[in-house]
Each structure stands twice: as C-alpha cells, then as structure tokens.
Amino acid sequence: MKDRVHREFADGDIEKIADAYHCWRGQKGAGRYGDIAGFCKTATSAEIAAHQFALTSGRYVGVAHVEEDAESAEKPISLAPLLRLRLNSETSRREAMTPRTELYQLLGDQTEKVVVP
C-alpha cells in the first residue's frame, strides 16, 4: 500500500488481474473464468439495477473469506494504539479551547446566568 487510499500493484498483482480478465473474455488458452470472493465477479444487469446502477466494486465482489488459525484467535487485541490516538485528539481539542469556552462547557445549562469579563 502506498497509503490508506492508494495501492501500488506489484507485477504479480497485475498478472492476476490480466489473467482474470482474459479468462472472463473467454480467450483461447486463458482458462475458465470463475467469480472469486473479494477479487472479481460477473454482475448481471439485474444486480446492477438493484443497486441503483452504482458500480462500487464492494457491492458485488464482497470480501474474501480468511480462515483464522488457532494462534491468531488466541492473540489479544491491543487497544493501546486506539487509546493513544483518542488521548492525543482529546489533548489537542482541550489545548485549542479558550478559557471562556472551557468555562461555558463546564457550566452547561447555566451559561446564560454567568457573565465572564
């Protein structure tokens, strides 16, 4: 992955896509085409119409089934990165607040009654 949105294809990825395309087209010697969950699917016109003609691939292709092995199922999920991100964002938010804004937040409904110089 180049970043969270963009992916750079390796030669093997390009070959896999090209092979699937040639099989789908029914080219001689390319092999037989078959839908592969998470990779490719031949959608019918009726399926596309049912999705209001949206051509987002995930609606049709789905996700590949990944089997869990016993080792990965036993590993605890670390929440530390998520908590660190949440703490950093909370700290940034608090640092951006002015004292007056913070006071209003602390007082809640009573803000109309308070006069801050």
Q: Which of 22, 58, 65, 64 is nearest to 43 (CA)?
A: 58
Q: What pLDDT is recorded for position 27?
A: 92
Q: What is the pLDDT of residues 12-35, one digit of tens each?
A: 999 999 999 999 999 999 999 999
Q: Which of 48, 49, 25, 21 is nearest to 36 (CA)?
A: 21
Q: 3-class DSSP state for residue 36?
A: strand
Q: What is the residue extent of each domain of the chain?
A: 11-64, 77-112
Q: What is the pLDDT of residues 29-57, one digit of tens each?
A: 999 999 998 889 999 999 999 999 998 88
Q: What is the pLDDT of residues 62-103, one digit of tens each?
A: 877 766 665 655 666 677 777 777 777 766 666 666 666 666
pTM: 0.50
Residue type, 54: A
